[in-house]
Each structure stands twice: as structure tokens, then as C-alpha cells.
Amino acid sequence: MPLLSMKSCAKVNLGLRIVGKRSDGYHDVETILQTIDLSDEIEIDETSAGIEVVCDTPGVPEGQENLAFAAAKMTLEAADSTRGVRIKIDKKIPSGGGLGGASSNAAATIKGLNRLFDLGLDEEKMCGIARILGSDVPFFIRGGTALATGRGDRLQRMDVKKQLNLVVVFPGFPISTGWAYQKANSGLTRPDFDIKILASALERGDLSTLCKRLYNSFEEVVFGHYPDLFDMKKMMLQLGALGALLSGSGSCVFCVVEGRDSGRTIVSQFTKEGLAAWETTTC
């Protein structure tokens, strides 16, 4: 039995606008980040020395190539700890799907080591480590719902009481976030999109307004290169979804559904098409 086992939740973007490119090479964005209960499992064991990261899912890097390795190294160094650890990642979140799997794993590693070894790092210190690792990582330290600005690391927590029922579909191939940003043009952003209206609808539990206002700047370029993803979104709406959207830079497309029966119907249809689909909820 591992000393510590914990969930590492995926996220979806309930709206995303690319504001523009920054002088440091990153892009400024406005997005609503939301954790969902589709998750990986992170197991942490103490070893005599060093850091080991293992994962038996093909295509997922191990050792120093995995972001969890850097997360472990920086966390232990921040606490002046010389403990050895073995981190095992049981993947359920598809890689390259726009669901933040690697960032979530890194955040779970930071939190897990802090808890397991009683390192005494507060949330601010953990977020400081997370910010160095990647734009999405600070969000996963706490999870839930947040309005993110800057390069996605400036977070404003949101008070959302209504749990959303979602279906997430993975087309079977990843999309590089770097490629998507390189191809995306901030000028394509819909001029009437207002993230604050979307955030307000979400906090009020107003599904009608929320689903009408769903928007993602990446859809223009990603759907242009991968028309099958647009077809997935269209199919979700035809099957009764209240709203559908590309998550992050893709490749996953998700939809908001009325309830579990509707979700099961949509999952069943995509499964028949040979695609991986999950019925899930916000958390």
C-alpha cells in the first residue's frame, strides 16, 4: 500500500478568450477554470533517496521528463527536505486533451508531499512553486472554480453552488497547446464576448445564459484544422446537450447536459463511434 493516494482532477474551460501576446512570449487570457471529477490517481511512497516518477500509460513521460518530477524536486527543496520519493501516476485523463492532466498531476504532487511529510508549506508557498511549473498549475492547488487572467495564473475564486453535469469526449489524438497558441489569432475573438457575464451566470446557476455564452478563442483555428472536432460538438447539440465547447486548446470537446440520463445517452452514442467518452460532474 502506498503511503499516500490522492485524486488528481481534470479541468475544463467554461469560456476562454485570448486577449493578446505578451512581451515574454506567453499570451494573456481570460478564462473560467473548473475542476471535474474525471481524475488520475497519484500514489506517493517514501524511498531511501532520489525522486522516481512512473506511469504505465503509453506516451506519458516518466522520470525527469514528467512535470511531477520537477514538482517533487522543487517542493522538497523549498522545505529543505532530503527525503526520497516514488510517485506513481495512474492515468485516466487523456494527454493532450486540453484537460490539464500534467498540471493537475504536478499540483497533486506538491500537495501530496506537503501532506505526507508535513512540510509546512502554506497555500501561498505551494502556489509559488506551481506558478514556476506552468500557467495552469496554481489553479489545481485549490481546484473548484476560478476566473483566470494574465497567462492564466492570476486567479479569482468564484462562489459556484450548482453542480454541472457534463460529458467529455476525447477524439483519440492530442493537440499541442504550443501549436494552438502559435496558430491562434487574438483578432478572431468574438467582440461581444464578456467573461464577466459568463461568470455571473455560472454563479447564479443560470444554465440557459451560461450555455448561450460559451465561447473559446481556440475553436476557430482548431476546428479549421480538425473538422471532426466541430462535428463532435455539433453531434452533442443534436443529441440534446444544453451547450458544448472545446476545452482549452483541445483536443477534448465537452458539453453541459440537463441530467444523468441525457449524459448517458450522449456517452453511449460517442462510444458507438469508437471514441472515449465520460459522464462527469463539476467538483
- The verdict on whether residue 250 carries a ligand-binding annotation is no
User: 3-state DSSP call for residue 277?
Assistant: strand
* Among 11, 88, 91, 111, the one annotated catalytic: 11
- The verdict on whether residue 81 carries a ligand-binding annotation is no
Q: Rounded CA gap, 32 and 133, in Å?
A: 20
- The verdict on whether residue 200 carries a ligand-binding annotation is no
Q: Which of 9, 7, 10, 18 is nearest to 252 (CA)?
A: 10
- The verdict on whether residue 102 carries a ligand-binding annotation is yes
Tell me whether residue 136 is one of the annotated catalytic residues: yes
- The verdict on whether residue 178 carries a ligand-binding annotation is no
- The verdict on whether residue 248 carries a ligand-binding annotation is no
- The verdict on whether residue 103 carries a ligand-binding annotation is yes
- The verdict on whether residue 98 carries a ligand-binding annotation is yes
Half-sphere exposure of 160 (CA within 13 A, CB side): 27
Q: How far is CA 73 from the centre of its chain?
A: 22
For residue 251, whether the previous peptide bond is cis, meaning omega lies within 30 degrees of 0, is yes
Tell me how far apart the terminal alpha carbons of the chain are, to the nearest angstrom: 27
* Among 40, 88, 136, 153, the one annotated catalytic: 136
Q: Rounded CA gap, 151 and 119, in Å?
A: 29
Tell me whether residue 11 is one of the annotated catalytic residues: yes
Q: Where are the beta strands (DSSP E) in 117-235?
A: 145-149, 154-157, 165-170
- The verdict on whether residue 128 carries a ligand-binding annotation is no
- The verdict on whether residue 96 carries a ligand-binding annotation is yes
For residue 247, whether the previous peptide bond is cis, meaning omega lies within 30 degrees of 0, is no
Q: Rounded CA gap, 123 and 138, in Å?
A: 10
- The verdict on whether residue 259 carries a ligand-binding annotation is no
30 burial via Cβ count (<10 Å: 0-12, 13-18, 19+): buried
3 DSSP 8-state letter: S
Q: Rounded CA gap, 222 and 215, in Å?
A: 13
Q: Which residues are annotated as a binding site?
A: 94-104
Residues recognised as catalytic: 11, 136
Q: Which residues are annotated as a binding site for ATP?
A: 94-104
